Amino acid sequence: ETGVTQSPTHLIKTRGQQVTLRCSSQSGHNTVSWYQQALGQGPQFIFQYYREEENGRGNFPPRFSGLQFPNYSSELNVNALELDDSALYLCASSSPLAEYEQYFGPGTRLTVT
Amino acid sequence: KQEVTQIPAALSVPEGENLVLNCSFTDSAIYNLQWFRQDPGKGLTSLLLIQSSQREQTSGRLNASLDKSSGRSTLYIAASQPGDSATYLCAVSYNTDKLIFGTGTRLQVFP
């Protein structure tokens, strides 16, 4: 069974640029959630995708957008990067067949300068 | 507002001690509660999942209890080891989408 994977591991961008982060869900999981974790804080929910549709969104502006593909992998896109977007971005997958227990990937560390 | 609080924020103990980490949540109508472990700069490892209808779950030296009516959960770690050093996060969900996290308890176990 393959776990949740994320790419890239680290990324450095300049304010105003755009970034795309990628996530492959655990085998058999059809739901993907994205979280932002600032240093010293708990993760904050960005949004969730289920069967390629957005299925819930946290308090993040529209410049945070996402996609889910037919194989259940997902992308997180952030436009017009700001310094405060520097954080660890975590992807989690889950399945109704597994009681919606969320399994997290290793994260992508984004630094905006 | 749905919030999760974890106490203490940090804990430093000698090896072998039994530990209790606390988590409280403001809205008791939870769907489930998860405890996670996070090593510095890494992702989250799921430790235990407790459904709203359950009172506790156990895995090895870990035991998590849930008291929905009082909005509390505790994570009990028996016979702590230096390898248990990490940040422990509690998270609740109210449906099948988002998890709401506490800010974590940073645990250090020294030999």
Please report residues of A whose CB lies closer than 8 A to that of B102: 42
Q: Mind listing the pLDDT tens digit for each residue in B58-101?
A: 999 999 999 999 999 999 999 999 999 999 999 999 987 789 99
Which amino acid is it at A10? Answer: H
SS3 content of chain A, % helix, strand, coil (to 5): 5, 50, 45
Verify whether the Cβ–Cβ distance B32 to A99 is below 8 Å. Answer: yes
CA-based nearest residue to B24, from B92, B108, B77 = B92
Which 14-43 residues of chain A touch chain B by CB within 8 A?
Answer: 31, 33, 35, 40-43
Alpha carbon B25 to chain centroid, angstroms: 12
- Say yes or no: A104 contacts chain B, CB-CB below 8 A: yes
A102 touches chain B (CB under 8 A): yes
What digits encode the pLDDT tens for the residues A32-85?
999 999 999 999 999 999 989 999 999 999 999 999 999 999 999 999 999 999
